[in-house]
Amino acid sequence: MLTVKDLFVRVESADGGKEILKGINLEVNLGEVHAIMGPNGSGKSTLANVIAGKDGYEITSGEVTLDGMDLLDMNPEERAREGVFLAFQYPVEIPGVSNATFLKTALNEIRKHKGMEELDAMKFLKFMKEKMKMVGIEDKLINRPVNQGFSGGEKKRNEIFQLQMLQPRLAVLDETDSGLDIDALKIVSNGVNLFRNENNAVIVVTHYQRLLNYIVPDFVHVLVDGRIVKSGGKELAFELEEKGYDWIINPETATETV
């Protein structure tokens, strides 16, 4: 479904920028969960942002396609309407816009794009209540401005709530586990597990293996310095947890610590 081919990306900055991704290849099929792990600064979040269409990156070469559609040629809202969803590492606070109004607008934009009827206030409310129950999100968070005054955990839960509401085909979770205590981690993971099925796919970007105890991946990729240096099954995550990243980054000098 998602194909990333020889992707090279520079980040734009005043001093001329810097190459962050140096030839990424990735194939994600329907029904699969892929974990992308790696040390800080390896390019994990850049990959997530580039898939979602964030500004500030220069794609020097390569391609990213979703079911054959060229994602790089689409703006962020078009990607979202085609089913790409990014759960933000740092969800943005939007004063003055209630969570419910925001989601109704977003959902109806996506439905309109798909040729589906827009939901009226009643139908939307019913649908929302269902999803709120599923993700365990309280009424007070729904009527408050988007993410404003939310705790770290509430913000992440709100991202998963949006995931459930918008039902994308490809969910990219960027460090969704950061800043969560174990209870919040379980709630968030549960939301993702309820979401995953044969008709969608999930990319979990994370520094730690911890989240993968709850969202069990089919594939694990290790990203180091802009390249995927190792891919494997879920057992690779355990290995990383045990040995750290060093044995992959410097295979010659790393000592066994088993």
Q: Which stretch binds other proteins (CB under 8 A): 61-69, 75-83, 184-192, 234-242?
A: 75-83
Q: Which of 10, 54, 169, 227 binds other proteins (CB under 8 A)?
A: 54
Interaction of residue 9 with other proteins, rule CB under 8 A: no
Q: Which of 113, 144, 196, 243 binds other proteins (CB under 8 A)?
A: 113
| Tokens 């993702």, residue located | 192
Instruction: Spell out the residues 6+ positions from residue 81 whose beta carbon is closer than 8 angstroms to its own.
Output: 109, 110, 113, 114
- What's the token pair of residue 61? 């070469």
Instruction: Spell out the residues 6+ positions from residue 3 whose beta carbon is closer than 8 angstroms to its own.
Output: 26, 27, 28, 63, 64, 65
d(CA 124, CA 3): 33
* Helix, strand or coil, per DSSP, at residue 198: coil
How near is the Cβ of 247 to other proteins at its closest, in Å?
36
Q: Total number of residues binding other proteins (CB under 8 A)?
A: 32
Interaction mask 124-153, other proteins, x per CB under 8 A: ---------------------xx-------
Contacts 24+ apart (CB under 8 A), 103-108: 103/128, 103/162, 103/165, 103/166, 106/80, 106/162, 106/165, 106/166, 107/165, 107/166
Give residues 149-168 in contact with other proteins (rule: CB under 8 A). Answer: 162, 166
d(CA 11, CA 20): 7
Q: Which of 38, 91, 217, 226 binds other proteins (CB under 8 A)?
A: 91
Interaction of residue 80 with other proteins, rule CB under 8 A: yes
Query: In Å, how far from its chain's centre is CA 228?
Result: 17
How near is the Cβ of 34 to other proteins at its closest, in Å?
20
Adjacent-strand bridge partners of 33: 202
Q: Which of 31, 62, 76, 179 binds other proteins (CB under 8 A)?
A: 76
How near is the Cβ of 250 to other proteins at its closest, in Å?
36
Interaction of residue 95 with other proteins, rule CB under 8 A: yes
Write out the residues near other proteins by the rule CB under 8 A. 52-55, 75-77, 79-81, 85-86, 88, 91-97, 102-103, 105-107, 109-110, 113, 145-146, 162, 166
